[in-house]
Amino acid sequence: MPSEEEIYQDHILDHYEDPFHRGKLPTATHAHEDKNPLCGDVVRIELQLDRDGRVSDAYFSGDGCVISQASASMLLEALVGKTVDEVKEFSAEDMLKLYGARLTPNRQKCCLLSWRVVQQALYSPVGA
Amino acid sequence: MTASALLPESLRQDFPILAQHVHGDKPLVFLDNAASSQRPEAVIKAMVESYACDYANVHRGIHVLSERSTDAYELARSKVRAFLGAAYEHEIIFTSGTTAGINLVARSWGDANLRAGDEILLNLMEHHSNLVPWFQLAERTGAVVRHIPLTEDGRLDLYDLDEYLTPRTRIVAVTAVSNTLGTINPVRELARAAHDVGAVVLVDAAQSAPHLRTDVQELDVDFLALSGHKMCGPTGIGVLYGRAELLEAMPPMFGGGSMINRVYADRFTSADLPAKFEAGTPPIVGAIGLGAAIDYLEAIGLDRIHAHEQALVERAWEGLSQVEGIRLLGPRPELRAGLVSFVLDRPHAHDIAQLLDREGIAVRAGHHCTQPLHDHLGITASTRASFYLYNTVGEVDALIAAVRDVRDRFKPTGRKRRRA
């Protein structure tokens, strides 16, 4: 049984208080927004994909629990610079591993929210 | 707070589940009663005894067990009638819960009575179960949903009621107590105004019947729905009260056994009330458990239960309002029932609930099935502590201290992410 000490580890709280690329990306080429219907957490992710099929920039915005917001920050930090194919290959399991702390199934949904949004954003060109 | 308003802590011994520790050595502090309450030994015993000694199907067997079960089931109905102050036992329909009761009215009464352009008057503090069935009714009939506005502090704003409640209004559906704001609504006043324009009134009593005295004749309401599991009774049992002349005119909702008078090869005639709305084998033991719960609550007295919860909610309100970064939802304590919902500037409700749970404190986090209300308040989620007769001042103080600790832990400290 995971304790909250594991869930709220220091590096997670660091991402919560000092997130990577929280905000808007006016040059975004792709974007998607979704929510966790259980708790109402919302995450919007905006991606800039360049001609070589690389994620050249990414920003997130939203409102939710420590886990959903810190995991969005961690995910984007890890994904910027990667190719679209690499992002597609980045699995849910990889996301949980990146987060680090062990989560109960209910809280895994919080952690996987931004991962789901990124996967969908790859197929959601802006203005389409 | 007057100490005399409090119920004796010894009544906690009636509830076997409360005597446990969780997460190692933390005494369980159960503050999620608005979601579902716990049950006293007397209710559990009544249900076990029914299954162990007297159980058979009701209203059909010509044998001793069926007669005993039927008597116990109908005795439970008579206890509910007295509990609600209804005129007749046949106005008491056993359902599976509040949701089923509201849906029954929306389907049976609603489909028979509403036409395109008729209006259904709701408000944004309602639970999804007192919104969605009416949205569905509006979709089926072309009726229009309107809302009574809310005041800044989360009460119904009845100032311009004439504007919303008009001769086009066919039904007003309102909760007696908001499950999120705690607001006690002026049901009687609203019922009078509704009747003046010829509308009927349905009351969602899920959050009021367990905590406040209910008298359907004094309130002069047409329908009232409640759930057993929120008032020390079992899950899967609820009650729909309806005025006899309305229920008599309504078509049955479910077809099947018990609800018929006579079935022919190609048609049927309906049974009389209340059987008309109780198709199939009913929740027999659930009803018996609910009857035992009513006995338990009445022995203590609903007025004393309410006074006890008032004392707790005043203390909670006072203590929580001093936590930095907190926003308490709903009106001041004397206008509310025994629950408090709040948001902190940080962290999110789910994090609060998770950290309180580590201290053994069970609360609810999320939108509490009131998404439109949360949208209206500009928040996505809140944390709710809801009290019942077995909660103590010590538990309220533990809640306040734990919430303060959570806020302290998450207050901005100038943390920096390690840059790769």
* Nearest-CA distance A17 → chain B (Å): 6
CATH of range B43-299; options 3.40.710.10, 3.50.90.10, 3.40.640.10, 3.30.565.10: 3.40.640.10
**C-beta of residue B254 within 8 angstroms of C-beta of residue B271:** no
pLDDT given at position A9: 86
Does residue B351 belong to the interface with chain A, where contact is any CB pair within 8 Å?
Answer: yes
**Is A128 within a domain?**
no
**C-beta of residue B283 within 8 angstroms of C-beta of residue B129:** no
CB contact under 8 A, B351 and A66: yes
Residue B417 has its nearest CB partner, among A8, A20, A65, at A20
pLDDT given at position B82: 98
Residue B417 has its nearest CB partner, among A3, A14, A69, at A14
Mutate to test the interface with A, among B180, B344, B348, B367 (most CBs of A within 10 A): B348
Cβ contacts (< 8 Å) between A67 and chain B: which residues? 350-351
Phi, psi of A86 (to 5 degrees): -65, -40
Residue A14 has its nearest CB partner, among B380, B381, B416, at B416
* pLDDT, tens digit (0-9, with 9 covering 90-100), for B340-361: 999 999 899 999 999 999 999 9
Q: How many domains does chain A have?
A: 1
* pLDDT, tens digit (0-9, with 9 covering 90-100), for A49-86: 999 999 999 999 998 899 999 999 999 999 999 999 99
* Nearest-CA distance A27 → chain B (Å): 24
Cβ contacts (< 8 Å) between A7 and chain B: which residues? 354
Q: What is the mean pLDDT of residues A108-128?
A: 93
Cite the residue boundaries of each domain of chain B with CATH code 3.40.640.10. Answer: 43-299
Cβ contacts (< 8 Å) between A19 and chain B: which residues? 417
**Is A88 within a domain?**
yes
- Residues composing chain B: 420
Instruction: State the sign of the Cα–Cα–Cα–Cα dihedral B17, B23, B24, B28.
Output: negative
* pLDDT, tens digit (0-9, with 9 covering 90-100), for B226-265: 999 999 999 999 999 999 999 999 999 999 999 999 999 9
**C-beta of residue A77 within 8 angstroms of C-beta of residue A22:** no
pLDDT given at position B332: 95
* Nearest-CA distance A88 → chain B (Å): 23
Cite the residue boundaries of each domain of chain B with CATH code 3.90.1150.10. Answer: 3-39+302-410
Among the ranges given (A33-37, A112-116, B182-186, B328-332), the one the predictor scored with the smallest mean pLDDT: A33-37
Cβ count near A128 (within 10 Å): 6
If you compute the radius of gyration of chain A from its CA atoms, what whole number of angstroms results?
14
pLDDT given at position B202: 98
Three-state DSSP at B384 gives: strand
**Is A19 within a domain?**
yes
Mutate to test the interface with B, among A18, A76, A98 (most CBs of B within 10 A): A18
Residue A64 has its nearest CB partner, among B367, B380, B412, at B380
**Is A126 within a domain?**
no
Q: Examine the residue annotation and report whether B369 is marked as an active-site residue of this protein.
A: yes
Residue among B30, B337, B359, B329 at smallest CA distance from B209 = B337
CB contact under 8 A, B420 and A77: yes
Tell me how far apart the terminal alpha carbons of chain A are, to the nearest angstrom.
45
**Structure token pair of residue B2:** 């007057």
Q: Supply the CATH number for residue A26's domain.
A: 3.90.1010.10
**Is A42 within a domain?**
yes
Q: What is the mean pLDDT of residues A38-52?
A: 89
**Is A89 within a domain?**
yes
Cβ contacts (< 8 Å) between A73 and chain B: which residues? 417
| Residue of chain A whose alpha carbon sits nearest to that of B359 | A4
C-alpha distances out from residue A119 to A30, A36, A48, B298, B391, Å: 11, 15, 14, 57, 46
The ipTM is: 0.82
User: Does residue A2 have a pLDDT over 60?
Assistant: no
CA B33 to chain centre: 10
Place of tokens 């249900």: B47
pLDDT given at position B283: 97
Q: Kindly give, in sequence order, each residue whose CB lies less than 8 Å from that of residue B375, ignoring residues fewer than 6 positions away.
A: none
Which residues does chain B have with pLDDT short of 50?
1
**Is A127 within a domain?**
no
More confidently predicted of A106 and B179: B179
Per-position b or e across B156-175, b if 16+ CB within 10 A of its CB: bebeebeebbeeebbbbbbb
* pLDDT, tens digit (0-9, with 9 covering 90-100), for B253-302: 999 999 999 999 999 999 999 999 999 999 999 999 999 999 999 999 99
**Is A95 within a domain?**
yes
Three-state DSSP at B227 gives: strand
If you compute the radius of gyration of chain B from its CA atoms, what whole number of angstroms results?
23
φ/ψ bin of B347: left (φ > 0), alpha (ψ from -120 to 50), beta (otherwise): beta
* Nearest-CA distance A26 → chain B (Å): 24
Mutate to test the interface with A, among B180, B352, B354 (most CBs of A within 10 A): B354
Q: Kindly give, in sequence order, each residue whose CB lies less than 8 Å from that of residue B197, ignoring residues fewer than 6 positions away.
A: B165, B166, B167, B169
CB contact under 8 A, B380 and A40: yes
What does the angle CA B210 – CA B69 – CA B97 come to, to the nearest 5 degrees? 30
In angstroms, the CA A70 to CA A76 distance is 10
CA B173 to chain centre: 14
**C-beta of residue B221 within 8 angstroms of C-beta of residue B165:** no
Three-state DSSP at B355 gives: helix
Mutate to test the interface with B, among A1, A15, A42, A65 (most CBs of B within 10 A): A65
Q: Kindly give, in sequence order, each residue whose CB lies less than 8 Å from that of residue A49, ignoring residues fewer than 6 positions away.
A: A29, A30, A55, A56, A84, A122
CA B380 to chain centre: 22
Q: What residue type is assigned to position B168 of the chain? A: R
CB contact under 8 A, B347 and A20: no
CB contact under 8 A, B358 and A3: yes
- Active-site entry in B369, B379, B393, B401: B369
Tell the CATH topology of B3-39+302-410.
Aspartate Aminotransferase, domain 1 (3.90.1150)
DSSP string, B182-221: -BBP-HHHHHHHHHHTT-EEEEE-TTTTTTS---HHHHT-
In angstroms, the CA B113 to CA B171 distance is 10
Chain B window 388-417: which residues touch A at a Cβ cutoff of 8 Å?
410, 412-417
Phi, psi of B335 (to 5 degrees): -100, 10
Cβ count near B98 (within 10 Å): 27
The boundaries of the domain holding residue A97 are: 4-121
> Band of the pLDDT at A1, cuts 50, 70, 90?
very low
